């Protein structure tokens, strides 16, 4: 079964850091680009970052550029999101998502994790 | 950035009704448009990809159409289990952007 499982969320103070992980199973992880998408409480979906299958190309939303870093370890089938200089407006459920097609970076997201909650508050 | 304007933001319909949601892109995105269903407390689920293609396992009462800037999502006969929020998403250009969502309720 194709599955994504996020972890690493929690409560952090403004200015703090957190690293999210997304463990993948059931597919050839290195063949697919991955993204992080977040959803603030009661709000819509916001794309955060994407990474190519090899990890050689990364992309960010302007709202997180310079503060967040996406990476992946294909030997561990795991995607990461390092979040630094966190702000209250980063409070959200963070989902990892797999793209639909091999070799493309942007596409439909056909598999989503269950999400992990990040709360930035003092 | 490409803005995705989705309407209505909410609707109430009876079981068996035909439900239509529209999504307008701020520029031509060809058919690089997807539709998702999100139930409360759950992750989004892909229903329609590339404007009109039904994802495997999704009931045929769901459909999508359009190209360029104007897109439509339809539920041909609303069922109780379709209560959810629906989002469109473009992937023609980065950043990927989503519509604001349409909350569908039963009348």
What is the per-residue pLDDT for B22? Answer: 98
Query: Nearest CB to A47: which of B46, B96, B101?
Result: B96
Our CA angle for A18, A23, A29, nearest 5°, is 125
Q: What are B38-50's pLDDT values in tens digits?
A: 999 999 999 999 9
Question: How far does CA A62 lie from the centroid of its chain?
Answer: 15
Q: What are B73-87's pLDDT values in tens digits?
A: 999 999 999 999 999
Confidence of residue B61 (pLDDT cuts 50, 70, 90): very high
CA dihedral for A25, A26, A27, A33, sign (positive or negative): negative
pLDDT averages per 10-residue partition of chain A, 122 residues: 97 98 97 97 98 96 98 98 98 97 89 98 96
Look at A106 and B96 and tell me if their CB atoms are within 8 Å.
yes
- Mapped onto helix, strand or coil, the DSSP state of residue B82 is helix
Query: Nearest CB to B49: which of A46, A108, A114?
Result: A108
Strands B102-106 and B10-13: parallel
C-beta separation of A76 from A55 below 8 A: no
The token pair at B92 is 């023609």
- Give residues 55 to 94 of B whose Cβ lies within 8 Å of A: 55, 87, 89, 91, 94
Strands A10-12 and A116-120: parallel
Taking CB atoms and an 8 Å cutoff, what residues of chain B touch A100?
Answer: 46, 49
What is the per-residue pLDDT for A106? Answer: 87
**B43 in A contact zone (CB under 8 Å):** yes
Confidence of residue B31 (pLDDT cuts 50, 70, 90): very high
Look at B97 and A47 and tell me if their CB atoms are within 8 Å.
yes
Query: Nearest CB to B91: which of A61, A106, A112?
Result: A106
**What's the DSSP call for residue A56?**
-
Query: Nearest CB to B49: which of A35, A62, A100?
Result: A100
Taking CB atoms and an 8 Å cutoff, what residues of chain A touch B46?
Answer: 100, 108-110
């Amino acid at each position: 079964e194709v599955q994504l499982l996020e972890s690493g969320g929690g409560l952090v103070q403004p200015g703090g850091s957190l690293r999210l992980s997304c463990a993948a199973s059931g597919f050839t992880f290195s063949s697919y680009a991955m993204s992080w998408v977040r959803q603030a409480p009661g709000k819509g979906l916001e794309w955060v970052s994407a990474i190519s299958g090899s990890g050689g190309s990364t992309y960010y939303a302007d709202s997180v550029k310079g503060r967040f870093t996406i990476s992946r370890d294909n030997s561990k089938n795991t995607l990461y999101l390092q979040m630094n200089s966190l702000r209250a407006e980063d409070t959200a459920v963070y989902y990892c998502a797999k793209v639909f097609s091999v070799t493309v970076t942007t596409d439909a997201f056909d598999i989503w994790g269950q999400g992990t909650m990040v709360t930035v508050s003092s | 950035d490409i803005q995705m304007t989705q309407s209505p933001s909410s609707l109430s319909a009876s079981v068996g009704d035909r439900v239509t949601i529209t999504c307008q892109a701020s520029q031509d995105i060809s058919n690089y448009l997807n539709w998702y269903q999100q139930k409360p407390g759950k992750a989004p689920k892909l229903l329609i990809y590339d404007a009109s293609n039904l994802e495997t396992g999704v009931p045929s009462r769901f459909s999508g159409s359009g190209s360029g800037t104007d897109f439509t999502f339809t539920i041909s006969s609303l069922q109780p289990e379709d209560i959810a929020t629906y989002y469109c998403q473009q992937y023609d250009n980065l950043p990927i952007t989503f519509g604001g969502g349409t909350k569908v309720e039963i009348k």
